[in-house]
């Protein structure tokens, strides 16, 4: 009888252990959706809006976009924002992350000419969100600065630090009373690398291997200046929060004994911008490697600019949260050609993928859910356990309405998020789906879809359609619980519970049978 009681108690314990401990979203974790101005708004020349770099790029070089499309109309959110707000409300999301189009606010790029229509559009949009109990989260810059500023050097011209601050002051003055969370700049490591070192992203300037670091240097200065300006002029009355959003992958070594490559890859991707903000100055590995390679290339000084001690102190601490965009992971290994003094990249890393990882419709997005938890824990450990806002996370396909794979992606990634929060204590306070709508996906045009709401881009009305993932999200949001993927061919929850229980009972039975 004693053995049987031990057997029952052990079965219950192991059954509980085998199943998820907690798939409930904690109260403090708000769930939202995200978009960006150029990708959704359209109305590229409405009223007095100025031309931005993506207007110019897509019009002049359509062949560099997969389907030769542009954002002239996009999702037409400019005219359909009320419909979109109702969709967000009906689904039950807590907040909506949108970005402001710099050229819609300042048609000439500079603060001497402010568009009343542009200001009013965003006021209308934001007040519509608030009226429907949806919190606005506003990005000041999501890749679409005015073309006239680009003609003056764009992010490689240090004057942009002041120009961006002038623009931000207008936004804080006009919209700050309604907005409590601002993101200064979105994913600078991507637009700096691809916009000033390749033709993949506007403005598409091939500025050798110097342009990206000039861009990054000015981005950090601009971010810090805006943060301090908010502190000095607006925080006392508006009581908002400000941070920067970085895209960060998880990196796995090809060789299990390689402890260097994953961290080097992380520092060149994320540490480039977050180290100066959270720790102070660029990562040592970046300075050491870029200095060494620059010397070998014959440069008189390092291609990575240096901050003065004053700038290091000014930039450090300029974040109220860590803004994270996460999609995927990578396999990394040292570049073997460096053994022969051939330096193909500054980081000296080759990026590949594990052949067992499944792939989305986008070539760079592999499904590796455990990488999400790893990134959250690395941020916690490396950056002093900051408050984390996940501002983008999503999956691409080619437009399926029964988008089971997207739901599978969200389920598996959110499970890792909940483990990191509920078990490991990562201070994630916000999570945003990318994206609420199918939209213009930069160089991919409209060939890849990230939305949980489909948009008919062939119809002038840009009709919206709920995908299966939107209906799944609606149930998740109303229950605040992570629900299984609703695939009819998959075992239901009761079946899974029975199978897990049976396995656990058999394990206990075998244990007593062997060791009795």
The residues annotated as belonging to the active site are 187, 392
SS (H, E, C) 13-53: HHHHHHCCCCCECCCCCEEEEECCHHHHCCCCCCCCCCCEH
The CA distance from 436 to 510, in Å, is: 49
DSSP-derived 3-state class of residue 484: coil
Q: Which residues pair with 367 in a beta bridge?
A: 358
Burial of 9 (0-12, 13-18, 19+ CB in 10 A): exposed
Angle between helices 468-479 and 404-418 (to 10 degrees): 30
Q: How big is the CA angle at 161 (ends 292 and 61), to the nearest 5 degrees? A: 80
What does 354-417 look like in DSSP terms, one character per residue? -TTSEE-SSTT-EE-HHHHHHHHHHHHHHTTS--EEEEE----BS--SS-HHHHHHHHHHHHHH
User: Do 194 and 331 contact (CB within 8 A), yes or no?
Assistant: no
With H, G, I as helix, E, B as strand and everything else as coil, classify residue 349. Answer: strand
Spatial distance between the Cα atoms of 419 and 428, rounded to a whole number of angstroms: 11
Cα–Cα distance between 83 and 80 in angstroms, integer?
A: 5
Residue (of 119, 114, 46) closest to 78 by Cα position: 46
What is the three-class DSSP state of 140? Answer: strand
Is the Cβ–Cβ distance between 267 and 259 less than 8 Å? no
| C-alpha to C-alpha distance for 396 and 451, rounded to whole angstroms | 8
Q: Is 264 helix (H, G, I), strand (E, B) or coil?
A: helix
- 3-state secondary structure (DSSP) of residue 351: strand
Give the C-alpha separation, 391 to 247, whole Å. 9
Cis amide bond preceding 435, omega within 30: yes
What's the gap between Cα 293 and its chain centre? 30
377 is written with which tokens?
């824990």
Neighbour-count burial of 403, counting CB atoms closer than 10 A to its CB (0-12 exposed, 13-18 middle, 19+ buried):
buried
Would you report the helix, strand and coil content of the chain in percent, each value rounded to 5?
45, 15, 40
């Amino acid at each position: 009888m004693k053995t049987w009681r031990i057997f029952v108690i052990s079965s219950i314990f192991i059954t509980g252990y085998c199943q998820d401990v907690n798939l409930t979203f904690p109260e403090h974790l708000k769930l939202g959706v995200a978009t960006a101005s150029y990708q959704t708004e359209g109305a590229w020349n409405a009223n007095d809006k100025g031309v931005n770099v993506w207007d110019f790029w897509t019009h002049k070089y359509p062949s560099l976009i997969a389907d030769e499309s542009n954002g002239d109309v996009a999702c037409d959110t400019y005219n359909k924002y009320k419909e979109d707000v109702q969709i967000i409300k009906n689904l039950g999301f807590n907040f909506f992350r949108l970005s402001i189009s710099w050229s819609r606010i300042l048609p000439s790029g500079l603060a001497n000419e402010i568009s009343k229509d542009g200001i009013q559009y965003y006021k209308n949009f934001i007040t519509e969100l608030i009226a429907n109990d949806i919190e606005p989260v506003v990005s000041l810059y999501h890749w679409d600065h005015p073309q006239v500023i680009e003609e003056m050097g764009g992010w490689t011209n240090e004057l942009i630090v002041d120009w961006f601050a002038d623009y931000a002051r207008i936004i804080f003055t006009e919209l700050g009373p309604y907005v409590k969370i601002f993101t200064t700049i979105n994913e600078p490591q991507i637009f700096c690398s691809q916009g000033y070192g390749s033709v993949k992203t506007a403005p598409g300037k091939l500025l050798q291997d110097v342009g990206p670091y000039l861009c990054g240097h000015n981005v950090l200065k601009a971010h810090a200046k805006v943060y301090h300006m908010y502190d000095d002029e607006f925080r006392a009355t508006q009581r908002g929060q400000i941070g920067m959003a970085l895209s960060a992958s998880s990196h796995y070594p090809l060789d299990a004994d390689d402890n260097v490559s994953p961290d080097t890859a992380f520092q060149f991707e994320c540490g480039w911008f977050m180290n100066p903000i959270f720790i102070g100055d660029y990562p040592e590995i970046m300075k050491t490697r870029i200095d060494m390679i620059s010397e070998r290339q014959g440069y008189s000084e390092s291609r990575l600019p240096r901050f003065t001690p004053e700038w290091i102190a000014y930039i450090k601490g300029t974040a109220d949260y860590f803004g994270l965009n996460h999609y995927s992971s990578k396999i990394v290994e040292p570049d073997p050609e460096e053994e022969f003094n051939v330096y193909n990249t500054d980081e000296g890393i080759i990026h590949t993928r594990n052949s067992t990882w499944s792939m989305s419709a986008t070539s760079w997005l592999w499904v590796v859910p455990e990488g999400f938890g790893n990134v959250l824990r690395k941020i916690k450990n490396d950056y002093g356990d900051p408050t984390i806002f996940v501002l983008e996370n999503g999956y691409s396909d080619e437009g399926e309405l029964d988008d089971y794979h997207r739901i599978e992606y969200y389920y598996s990634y959110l499970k890792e998020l909940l483990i990191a929060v509920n078990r490991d204590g990562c201070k994630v306070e916000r999570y945003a789906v990318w994206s609420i709508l199918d939209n213009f996906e930069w160089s991919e045009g409209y060939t890849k879809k990230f939305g949980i709401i489909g948009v008919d881009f062939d119809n002038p009305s840009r009709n919206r359609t709920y995908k299966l993932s939107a209906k799944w999200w609606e149930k998740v949001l109303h229950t605040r619980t992570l629900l299984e993927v609703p695939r009819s061919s998959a075992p239901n929850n009761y079946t899974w519970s029975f199978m897990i229980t049976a396995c656990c009972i058999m394990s206990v039975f075998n244990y007593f049978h062997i060791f009795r």
